[in-house]
Structure 1
Amino acid sequence: MTQKRPQLRNFATQPNQDDEEDLFEYFYDKPGALPGTIVIDKDAPLPKIILIDYNETNRTCLALQSPEDCAKYLDTASVSWVDVLGLGSEEILQQLGKVFDLHPLVLEDVVNVPQRPKVEDYEDHVVIIARMVMPKESGNSFYSEQVSLVLGKHYLLTVQEEPQRDCFTPVRDRIRHNKGTIRKRGADYLTYALLDAIIDGFFPVLEDYGERIEDLEEEVIANPTRKTLDKIYQIRRELLALRRAIWPQRDAINTLIRDGNILVSEEVRIYLRDCYDHAVQVMDMVETYRELSSGLMDVYMSSVGNRMNEVMKLLTVISSIFIPLTFVAGIYGMNFNTEKSPWNMPELNWYFGYPLCLALMIAIASGLIYFFWKRGWFENFSTIKDE
């Protein structure tokens, strides 16, 4: 695997080779690389730093030029959410590590994407690596992006790959308009709110897959083609990518609930249980859709086999009708001399011999067609009729 970091993975209906790799592979260091080495993609956008500092009565939202500008907010009693959008500057990211006192291995996990979702506990902060998915506008694919969260006593640092889109808008609106209890609580509750938004972001993606699978079910039964097989195969691979994203994410949330940490209060752990339940529900939906997609593959093979059987049945019926006609035509096509014997096909000298022969053939064909119809051989068994 290469160390190229795609900006924002788009799992389209017709993936290229890079998309195929992105479905399954995680980042790993080159053999012999120093621990903590970070790799910056040349196409990665420059970081944008947004600070949202709030308490129950006040809120401040600033666009910062440098990570040092947020240092004075980190030790205050208010909650400081530092949102970094983009991974295109090693200098800024190194400054970020110094301001938040991040271990070099933590900075490596944050910058070198994609990483497996996980939770790591340090002395004065907790690092959470999560994967965020968002449905594409066409509804036929999804975007996948790594989100890194560093939880401190009064602050939360989030680092996203791309600035274009995320699923945190409802959380920002709740902070802006002071909805709910988010501005009355600490940074651990903000962490829960963002994790819950990430998990809930899986549901619109899965709804799109549910609709695609329903459409494919009708297509597989009515008119299966090679493109249908490609669609089924692609859905199975994308669902596997979703499974690989949500499975370790569920374990990471469970780690926050199970392992005691002074930065996560007992009350927030109760909220995280609900987030854990949502993750389990997402897993159940992913597994259900994977089974349905596997079943679609079996239905596709059955439908193709039924269509072949229908073709063979039609050819068999046609052959069965023409075999006796060929027999009659073959007999009367033989050369006999009626002058030698009256038994040498006297019909050859009849005035209406030719019309009678044709009438006999028509009668035989009609009789066979009626017989096959009564037996039900002209019905299409590959079509499922609604009752």
Structure 2
Amino acid sequence: MIRTCAVDKDNQIVYDVPLRDLNNEHTVWYWVDFSEPTDQENSLLRDFFHFHPLAVEDCLDELIERPKVDFYKNYLFFLLHSIQQTTLATDEVEVFMNSHMLVTYHKQPNRAINNSWVRLKKEEGLKKGPIFVLHSIIDQIVDDYFQPVFHIEDALNQIEENSDREAVNELLDKIFDIRHDMSKLRRSILPMRDLLYRLLNSENVSFIEDQRFYFHDIYDHLLKLSEMLESYREFSADIRENYMSFNSNKTNNIMMTLTIITTIFMPLTFIVGIYGMNFDYMPELHIKYAYYMVLIGMACIAFFMFLIFVKIGWLKIGNKKNRRNRHSSK
């Protein structure tokens, strides 16, 4: 689908303008949006607009490219990353722009493009020119990054508090999922930050001077997002290490308990093994109270070894402290 709008010399906005009428002398500038284009519509990038083959290839390529800005002779080419809010999947948005045109291209319906189109149509922001529309699109794309990042922050706080008393393995699985989501966001946010930095510091885009402060505001947002992701990566790594240490310590305590039990039963098993041998002549077997004496002796040995383990600190009886509530209600 292709939708068009144009601003004429009378400062009037005209929608659904045929492509053949876009370059007439009455048009000041125009916006053409390719949404889910067909093969025939794709050919217009090369045959009608005569864009550079490399830029057209970036549009048609199925692979997700890194966000970038290329400076061609008569226009700029932007490759932007838009994030789907639920899955964090990356959608490419390509933009061709100069002072007289803006061409946007996206293979899937795009929230940022659609929101910008509707808002600018309502506010008549199209009259402010293509650079203003470009700012609106990039600003909407960057604003859509914040919600997933805030969601990651909330998820990490919930994992740290663990108010639901979930098992350590489940918490670790959640942490790995969160770090995977952060990696997805980093692959878009960091290159977008570099793109804005290059745009703001390039000598080839003098026509953005009037909007420089607005683009700098977007760059500040991307800096904030990248710093937030870095802090969350460190935070998640600390939580992961804490839970892994806790899990390892718990496993060690279980193994120690089992070892102590096995050690206590070793001499008892030795005694039972001796008197379980099938010899005809074993003097102790003929003593009247030998059975009770052996039982008492085994009990004493077990109790004595139990006291030794308690004394050296391998077994702690009655020393468990209640877990401190770090988030007590005020």
- The interval holding the TM-score normalised by the smaller chain is 0.7 to 0.9
Correspondence 1:172 to 2:117: yes
Alignment partner of 1:386 out of 300, 315, 324: 324
Per-residue deviation, 1:240: 3.1
Superposed CA offset, 1:211-247 (max 9, x none) = 444566659x96344x776665555454334323222
The change in CA–CA distance for 1:222 and 1:88 in structure 2 (over 3 A counts) is same
Q: Comparing 154-163 with 268-277, which one deviates more in the overlay?
A: 154-163
Task: Give the 3-state SS of the residue equivalent to 1:51 in structure 2.
Answer: strand
Alignment match, 1:355: 292
Alignment match, 1:157: 103
- Higher normalized contact order (CA 8 Å, seq sep 6+, divided by chain length): 1
Alignment partner of 2:44 out of 95, 107, 121: 95
Alignment match, 1:365: 302
Alignment partner of 1:135 out of 74, 82, 85: 85
Correspondence 1:248 to 2:191: yes
CA distance in 2, matches of 1:356, 1:70: 112
Correspondence 1:223 to 2:159: no
Q: Which runs of 5 or more residues in structure 1 are unaligned?
A: 1-47, 339-343
CA distance in 2, matches of 1:131, 1:304: 39
CA distance in 2, matches of 1:277, 1:230: 33
Given that 1:119 and 1:126 are in contact with CA atoms closer than 8 Å, whether structure 2 keeps it comes out as: yes
CA distance in 2, matches of 1:74, 1:167: 31
Per-residue deviation, 1:316: 0.9
Correspondence 1:108 to 2:52: no
Alignment match, 2:328: none
Alignment partner of 2:68 out of 90, 104, 118: 118
User: Could you state the TM-score of these two structures normalised by the residue count of structure 1?
Assistant: 0.67
The change in CA–CA distance for 1:202 and 1:214 in structure 2 (over 3 A counts) is same
Per-residue deviation, 1:377: 3.5
Alignment match, 2:131: 188
CA distance in 2, matches of 1:236, 1:303: 20
Given that 2:2 and 2:33 are in contact with CA atoms closer than 8 Å, whether structure 1 keeps it comes out as: yes
Report matched runs for 1:1-387 at 5 Å. 48-53=1-6, 59-62=13-16, 68=19, 71-72=22-23, 76-77=27-28, 80-89=30-39, 91-113=40-62, 114-136=64-86, 141-163=87-109, 165-178=110-123, 182-183=125-126, 185-214=128-157, 218=162, 223-225=167-169, 233=176, 235-261=178-204, 264-295=207-238, 298-299=241-242, 301-330=244-273, 332-333=275-276, 345=284, 348-351=286-289, 353-373=290-310, 376-378=313-315, 385-387=323-325
Per-residue deviation, 1:354: 2.5
CA distance in 2, matches of 1:70, 1:284: 47
Per-residue deviation, 1:328: 4.2
Given that 2:6 and 2:22 are in contact with CA atoms closer than 8 Å, whether structure 1 keeps it comes out as: no
Superposed CA offset, 1:62-121 (max 9, x none) = 4x7xx72562589623x53322112441x3222234443422222222222422211122
Give the alignment's Cα RMSD to 1 decimal.
3.8
The change in CA–CA distance for 1:271 and 1:190 in structure 2 (over 3 A counts) is same
Per-residue deviation, 1:297: 5.3
The change in CA–CA distance for 1:75 and 1:110 in structure 2 (over 3 A counts) is farther
Number of equivalences: 317
CA distance in 2, matches of 1:111, 1:378: 68
The change in CA–CA distance for 1:286 and 1:384 in structure 2 (over 3 A counts) is farther
Per-residue deviation, 1:372: 3.8
Given that 1:321 and 1:369 are in contact with CA atoms closer than 8 Å, whether structure 2 keeps it comes out as: yes
Alignment match, 1:22: none
The change in CA–CA distance for 1:384 and 1:214 in structure 2 (over 3 A counts) is farther
Residue identity matched to 1:106: A
CA distance in 2, matches of 1:275, 1:73: 34
The change in CA–CA distance for 1:376 and 1:169 in structure 2 (over 3 A counts) is farther
Residue identity matched to 1:354: Y
CA distance in 2, matches of 1:330, 1:191: 87
CA distance in 2, matches of 1:74, 1:213: 57
Residue identity matched to 1:49: I
Task: Give the 3-state SS of the residue equivalent to 1:145 in structure 2.
Answer: strand
CA distance in 1, matches of 2:20, 2:232: 47
